[in-house]
């Protein structure tokens, strides 16, 4: 080995050692009982204003400092039960810091009236976020487009708002975790709510069954809702999540014949992008399931009516959700109520409001109405 190469390796080793020592010193804060640490944090003892935490939990870009980021990351790991070895912790902290800066930049745009903030995905890179949270199977799109579709006929929508959550027809927010299974959660919303509206019984249904038994899709590597609906029809029903709980990884199909608590008769894909027709369907029949284009700022969404008209993905989609209602805001106009599967730390306790009537994020490109038996 040349002297130059040896020197370069030595410098790199010493730098890593120095960073590790600094991190270990900062991690000593974790020796403080968590309740005390959080109390000190919320009271502003660490020099972080309480009012900042009560909103987006992220400082303005010009306020970010290494000290703030170190403390924020430690508390973040406590809150979301994140455990990393030393090297990975250093890497995650750097990613976390970059995301805080991005959030601060987004929040600086006051015109959008949308708030961005921390959630359990703030230590993920954008490629990691896309691979684990927004991973519809691309090759499935061409297949679905060739299917025969039916456009339900509805009258022009009259009601200015509808929220199926208020009628106890929508199950609580769930969390797909680091498995690209959004399509199973979207599918379950359609069946759960359809079953509740028709039979009066709101039951949480099994995403894991779809993950295991829908072999047209690709498990945690993505899939497509029509494939999952076909799987439910083929099996003869969908089991409850209590009988077939979510594990966040694909295993062998363990569906038990006769144990399905909800059945699907058929489903209809909207042939046009007319959002009034979708609203009519939501009003008359219940939530619909759909695909959207989840762009980078989705990762940080906290609250407000999302109205980024640049969110198109060239007409393609990469994430599955459900529309459970719609409403009107005096300032920002009409919006959709979107149920997501990223846990309650994301968005408005797991939900998102998106501007209605402009096909934001290709929201109306792929929409299905699920009919239950």
Active site residues: 182, 319, 340
Contact present, 253 and 213 (Cβ < 8 Å): yes
| CA–CA gap between residue 6 and residue 151 (Å, rounded) | 69
Tokens of 367: 């929409």
| CA–CA gap between residue 162 and residue 287 (Å, rounded) | 10
| CA–CA gap between residue 347 and residue 353 (Å, rounded) | 9
* DSSP conformational letter for 150: -
| CA–CA gap between residue 134 and residue 183 (Å, rounded) | 9
Provide the strand spans (E) within the chain: 115-116, 162-163, 264-269, 288-292, 301-303, 305-306, 319-329, 333-339, 351-355, 367-372
- Cα atoms in the 13 Å half-sphere on the side-chain side of 314: 0
| CA–CA gap between residue 322 and residue 46 (Å, rounded) | 41
> What is the three-class DSSP state of 239?
coil
> What is the three-class DSSP state of 306?
strand
Q: What percentage of the chain's residues is helix, strand, coil (to nearest 5)?
A: 45, 15, 40
* DSSP conformational letter for 307: -
3-state DSSP of 20-85:
HHHHHHHHHHHHCCHHHHHHHHHHCCCCCCHHHHCCCCCCCHHHCCHHHHHHHHHHHHHHCCCCCC
| CA–CA gap between residue 38 and residue 44 (Å, rounded) | 10
| CA–CA gap between residue 72 and residue 67 (Å, rounded) | 9
> What is the three-class DSSP state of 328?
strand
């Amino acid at each position: 080995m040349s002297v130059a190469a040896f020197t370069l390796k030595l410098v790199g080793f010493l730098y890593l050692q120095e960073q590790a020592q600094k991190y270990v010193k900062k991690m000593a804060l974790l020796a403080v009982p968590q309740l005390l640490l959080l109390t000190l944090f919320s009271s502003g003892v660490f020099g972080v204003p309480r009012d900042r935490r009560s909103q987006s939990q992220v400082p303005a870009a010009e306020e970010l400092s290494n000290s703030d980021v170190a403390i924020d990351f430690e508390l973040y790991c406590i809150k979301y039960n994140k455990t990393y070895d030393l090297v990975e912790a250093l890497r995650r902290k750097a990613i976390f810091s970059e995301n805080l800066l991005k959030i601060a930049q987004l929040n600086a745009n006051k015109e959008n009236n949308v708030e961005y903030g921390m959630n359990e995905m703030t230590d993920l890179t954008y490629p990691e976020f896309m691979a684990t949270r927004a991973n519809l199977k691309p090759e499935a799109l061409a297949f679905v487009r060739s299917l025969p579709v039916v456009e339900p006929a509805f009258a022009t929508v009259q009601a200015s708002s509808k929220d199926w959550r208020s009628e106890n027809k929508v199950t609580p927010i769930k969390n797909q975790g680091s498995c690209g299974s959004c399509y199973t959660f979207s599918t379950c919303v359609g069946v759960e709510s359809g079953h509740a509206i028709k039979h009066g019984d709101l039951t949480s249904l099994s995403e894991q069954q779809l993950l295991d038994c829908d072999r047209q899709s690709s498990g945690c590597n993505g899939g497509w809702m029509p494939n999952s609906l076909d799987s439910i029809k083929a099996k003869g029903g969908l089991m409850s999540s209590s009988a077939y709980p979510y594990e966040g990884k694909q295993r062998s199909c363990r569906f038990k014949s006769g144990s399905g608590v909800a059945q699907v008769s058929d489903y209809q894909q909207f042939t046009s992008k007319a959002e009034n027709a979708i609203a009519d369907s939501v009003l008359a029949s219940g939530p619909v399931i759909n695909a959207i284009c989840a762009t980078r700022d989705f990762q940080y969404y906290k609250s407000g009516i999302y109205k980024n008209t640049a969110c198109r993905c060239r007409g393609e989609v990469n994430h599955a959700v459900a529309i459970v209602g719609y409403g009107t805001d005096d300032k920002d106009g009409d919006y959709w109520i979107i149920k997501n599967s990223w846990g309650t730390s994301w968005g408005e306790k797991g939900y998102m409001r998106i501007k209605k009537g402009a096909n934001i994020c290709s929201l109306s490109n792929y929409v299905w109405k699920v009919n239950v038996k």
